[in-house]
Each structure stands twice: as structure tokens, then as C-alpha cells.
Amino acid sequence: DAKTTQPTSMDCAEGRAANLPCNHSTISGNEYVYWYRQIHSQGPQYIIHGLKNNETNEMASLIITEDRKSSTLILPHATLRDTAVYYCIVRVDSNDYKLSFGAGTTVTVRA
Amino acid sequence: DTAVSQTPKYLVTQMGNDKSIKCEQNLGHDTMYWYKQDSKKFLKIMFSYNNKELIINETVPNRFSPKSPDKAHLNLHINSLELGDSAVYFCASSQVVLRGPGNEQFFGPGTRLTVL
């Protein structure tokens, strides 16, 4: 699976959009981009995933660049409850179902 | 309704003891996982079972033995506990869709194991 690079931490104001970048320059054509988050003392939570098209669900939007070498997770209106570690993961959808978590980005939403 | 549950939530034990952590999912998924999160907060896959068959074993010491009595349960038994086993252990489940868009994994709340 391709490796990802994310900023270590970022702050965001409550009510504003939070844009979380992820670089995955070695991604291959059959690898998906997944985002999970882990709120303190809880298990990780799935947010969204995509292959090459932009995706949106009730939690977030995922913007993938045309060359697929980077992506951005957008939390449209951040709340204090969005404070968490956000993980960007790329993986092939194959019989190997594991998720390989990196260090992620610690996002702190401030009032 | 809890989707993925683990017991116990906290486990404190002495070195050398044997302990088990239980995991149950009520989502009807066919694949279950165990992950370990160490003190540096890195999450690493340990095992994965699909339809009660082991499909991933990430070079975990053989002191760790997963057991899947049925598709809804994946228990983790640890023999001869060591200090380095102290961590948070997460169970997860997913429904695998081959050649599908991806498998969302649902995680349990974690079991914090402390070995003294």
C-alpha cells in the first residue's frame, strides 16, 4: 500500500471549514483513499473514501487531485466534537483487508 | 444498539498471567480484526478473520491466539503476558465486498491492557 504524508497537527475555528491535506504521491491506479478519525479514548471511525472522483457524505467531502497524488478532507462546519486524530490511508481493495494507520493529523477545533 | 463491543474495557494484570479479551459484532459482518495501539498511539493490525478463517497474521508472537467461534465473535487470548503487551486493543469488523468500492471497518471501544 502507498504511504501517506499528513501534517502533524492543525487548529481550526469552530463553525469554519477544516481542510485536511494528505499527500500520497506513490499511489497506484487501484488504490483507494480512505479517511478515518479517532476521537480521544474511542475506536477509529470511518469518514469517507474515494478512488478518483470527489466524494461527499453527511460527515465530510473528499477532494482528490486529478493526478491522485494528493487529497483533501473537508469538514464543512467544524464543531468541538470534531477534535480528533484524522488518518489518511491508501489501500488496494483486495483480499488483504487490513488498514495501515500512520501518525495522522491531530485536529483541534477551538471555540 | 452497540455495533462492535469488547469486554473488558480495562484489564490490569501481572506479568506472566494469561488473559482473554472478547469481541462481538451484531452487524452481520463476515470479517473481524484485532488491532493494537501502543503508547505512541500507532494502530497496527494484528489479525483478521474472514468467515471464521484466519486471513491475516501480522507476525504477532504466538503468545497471542485469536479464536473465532462464529462469525459474530473474535476473541483474543494472550499467554504469558509481558510488560510490552500493555496497549489498547481494538476489535473491528467489516463486510467484505470483493471488487467492490471498499470495506468500511467498524471499531469497538477498545480494551486498555496494563501489564504490571
pLDDT tens per residue across span B27-36: 999 889 999 9
The overall average pLDDT reported for chain B is: 90
What mean pLDDT is predicted for residues A82-96?
A: 84
Higher pLDDT, B100 or B5: B5
Considering only CB atoms, which chain B residues are within 8 Å of A97?
31, 33, 48, 50, 55-56, 94, 96, 103
Q: How close is the nearest chain B Cα to the Cα of A77, in Å? A: 23
pLDDT at residue A31, as a whole number = 87
Considering only CB atoms, which chain B residues are within 8 Å of A43?
4, 90, 92, 107-110
A16-73 pLDDT, tens digit each: 999 999 999 999 888 889 999 999 989 999 999 999 989 999 999 999 999 999 999 9
pLDDT at residue A22, as a whole number = 97
DSSP letters for A44-86:
-EEEEEESSS-EE-SS-EEEE-TTSSEEEEEETT--GGG-EEE
Higher pLDDT, A107 or A90: A107
Q: Do A49 and B106 touch (CB under 8 A)?
A: no
Cell of B84: 510490552
Element (H, E) at A105: strand A105-110
CA angle at A43 for the pair A40 and A45, rounded to the nearest 5°: 100
CA angle at A27 for the pair B48 and A98, rounded to the nearest 5°: 5
Query: Who among B42, B58, B105 is closest to A46 (CB)?
Result: B105
Flag whether pLDDT at B107 surpasses 70.
Answer: yes
Q: How close is the nearest chain B Cα to the Cα of A67, in Å? A: 19
pLDDT at residue A95, as a whole number = 55
Flag whether pLDDT at A14 surpasses 70.
Answer: yes
Q: Best mutation site among B105, B111, B112 for testing chain A: the one with the most A CBs within 10 Å?
A: B105
